[in-house]
Structure 1
Amino acid sequence: MNSSQQMLTVSDHNRSFIHMTYVYPVVSRRAGGVSVGINLNPNNACNWHCAYCQVPGLVRGAAPEIDLAQLEGELRSFLDELLHGSFMADHVPPEAQVIRDIAFSGNGEPTSSKAFAEIVERVVAIRDVAGLAAVPIRLITNGSLVDRPYVQKALQSLAAAGGEVWFKLDGGRAEEFMRINGVDLAPEAHARRLALCASLCPTWVQTCMVRRDDEAPSQAMIDAYLAALDLAGPGALRGVHLYGLARPSLQPEAGHLQRLALDELEQIALRIKEKGLTVVVSP
């Protein structure tokens, strides 16, 4: 464990805070407390390249082979420390001293691990043995690999364990996927994956909106984004997490990105709510 008295903040999601390979804590502004992160991409590899990504040294690729025994040991040890040790008092602000979730997030796309289905089952078992069955397990994903059978199996396991998915959708046109997420992707295909995901596990959409070169998202961009939600079927979704830049991008595109004001995000949220969706705004 980190022996310093450094405090966790929403603006610092340092994966090496406790010097573990796979497990790390953050104070999540969206979850509203301590999120126990599971990083299946310690090689900083992802199949997308999002312009706003805070991962240093991001490279294209997939998760490496995972040491399952090490992952299990780290998770057991850190959950025990959170529940029975001094970590909360030493490193977490008083208002955030509660375990809100266990989240597959980290430094790349977690579902790119071929062992993902087995890992989900093991994490569920460790959570339950720790007496934390009421703590949700979340998958934070770009959704690009939902078509793969092992990912679908994992989603079903998550659903059975009371978990949920946060599925990335930042735009509704191919040019936005390329500019924002760095991928050549047809909106219709991604909307189908979103619908499939929602049919297997409770699913929220996570959407990051920013200014680019001081220009806010255009009405055409927002219209296309809303059309993509329509293609996915809003009635099958739990809602939308709409957020802006809380931490600076560490990608080459960083100089082009600026934060949207709260009122600008709330105007976009109003458009989404017209679809009958719940929207949680995090500026």
Structure 2
Amino acid sequence: MPRTSILTRTDHDRDSAGMTYVYPVVSRRARGVSIGVNLNPNNACNWACVYCQVPDLKRGTAPPIDLARLETELRAMLDDVVHGDFMQRRVPPEARRLNDVALSGNGEPTSARAFPEVVELIGRVMADFGLVGREGSAQGQAAKLVLITNGSLADRPRVQQGLRRIAALGGEAWFKFDSATAEGMRAINQTRVSPARQFERLAATARLCPTWLQTCVFARDGAPPSEAEQAAYLAAVTRIRAEAIPVQGVLLYGLARPSMQPQASRLSALPAEWLEAYAERIRAAGLPVRVSP
């Protein structure tokens, strides 16, 4: 059953609308309402980040997508948001702004075989509601199509096809970049992907679609990321600038919701002051930063 309670920044329940694929959230990083599109209702992902809020997370890929159902759900949700009283019913006054439709959810969205078809579908529906380009939404502006991705499949042709289409729609990608070391990626993302290979995928993504780094920082066993981890990250930022990779900036965020993974008890949020100090170091290395404690 759909819920009727007011949405908060700490509640990202994928079932809040009573739909299979579509759910609304008030997003810290979006600074308004984000309409999520969950292509992984099976809770399967090819990574297993220790801070992930998905319960019963398992390794795997997205299941086959029912495109007709996805379109029906997205149209119903956008009709309520754009033409109905959704904002008044479900959203606190300070967040009553439709910012984006986000390919996010309970796993890696680009693992869906129908990923490029999904992008086309979302673009078509957003255009029908006047949310693409200069036309603007009922809240007085256009909404973006955002892909939230770990980037691990960005070298696949079908994923690159989707990235090009997102760019053509005026959208952007948020590319997970929590660590620039092999040890850090194993500890945080629980993947053995090499930092060098991931950097190549980042470069490919940024050259196909406007791209932000999304970086989650937190304390483990009470300690923030080591100086070596921070230095490696800053070196990666310096390299991004030196190689003229067109990254837009960094979305630096902390833990606002509890992890649902076995390591949860070891994780804790860092003070906002720590995040801001780290952000200043990243800015000094050459990239803009938006901080969401």
State the TM-score, normalizing by the size of structure 1.
0.97
The CA RMSD measured in Å over matched residues stands at: 1.1
Whether the aligned pair in 2 keeps the contact of 1:195 and 1:233 (CA below 8 Å) is no
Question: 2:274 is matched with which residue?
Answer: 264
Q: 1: distance between equivalents of 2:3 and 2:150?
A: 34
Q: Per-residue CA shift, 1:204-234, capped at 9, x if unaligned?
A: 0000011000011111110111223344447
Question: 1:16 is matched with which residue?
Answer: 15
1:280 to 269, 275, 290: 290
Question: 2:2 is matched with which residue?
Answer: 2
1:241 to 243, 251, 254: 251
Q: 2: distance between equivalents of 1:61 and 1:3?
A: 29
Whether the aligned pair in 2 keeps the contact of 1:191 and 1:229 (CA below 8 Å) is no
Question: 1:251 is matched with which residue?
Answer: 261
Whether the aligned pair in 1 keeps the contact of 2:103 and 2:109 (CA below 8 Å) is yes
Q: 2: distance between equivalents of 1:260 and 1:126?
A: 39
Residue 190 of structure 2 corresponds to residue 182 of structure 1? yes
What fraction of aligned residue pairs are identical, expressed as a percent? Answer: 55
Q: 2: distance between equivalents of 1:183 and 1:210?
A: 18
| Structure 2: 5+ residue stretches without partners | 133-141
* More moved, 267-276 vs 112-121: 267-276
Kindly tell me the number of residue pairs found equivalent between the two proteins. 282
Q: 1: distance between equivalents of 2:193 and 2:237?
A: 15
Mapping of residues 109-124 of structure 1, within 5 Å: 109-124=108-123
Question: 2:217 is matched with which residue?
Answer: 209
* More moved, 23-32 vs 231-240: 231-240
SS at match of 1:138: strand
Q: 2: distance between equivalents of 1:161 and 1:100?
A: 14
| Structure 1: 5+ residue stretches without partners | none
Whether the aligned pair in 1 keeps the contact of 2:3 and 2:16 (CA below 8 Å) is no
Question: 2:138 is matched with which residue?
Answer: none
Q: 2: distance between equivalents of 1:97 and 1:209?
A: 28
Mapping of residues 70-149 of structure 1, within 5 Å: 70-133=69-132, 134-149=142-157
Whether the aligned pair in 1 keeps the contact of 2:100 and 2:143 (CA below 8 Å) is yes
Q: 2: distance between equivalents of 1:174 and 1:229?
A: 16
Q: 2: distance between equivalents of 1:69 and 1:230?
A: 45
Q: 2: distance between equivalents of 1:28 and 1:195?
A: 26
SS at match of 1:57: coil
Residue type of the alignment partner of 2:166? L
Q: Per-residue CA shift, 1:75-125, capped at 9, x if unaligned?
A: 011100112222211111111111110000000000000100111011001
Q: Per-residue CA shift, 1:7-66, capped at 9, x if unaligned?
A: 100000000001000000000011111100000000000000000000011000000000
Question: 2:208 is matched with which residue?
Answer: 200
Q: 2: distance between equivalents of 1:197 and 1:66?
A: 23
Question: 2:137 is matched with which residue?
Answer: none
Q: 2: distance between equivalents of 1:167 and 1:3?
A: 30
State the TM-score, normalizing by the size of structure 2.
0.94
Whether the aligned pair in 2 keeps the contact of 1:187 and 1:228 (CA below 8 Å) is no
Q: 2: distance between equivalents of 1:220 and 1:265?
A: 16
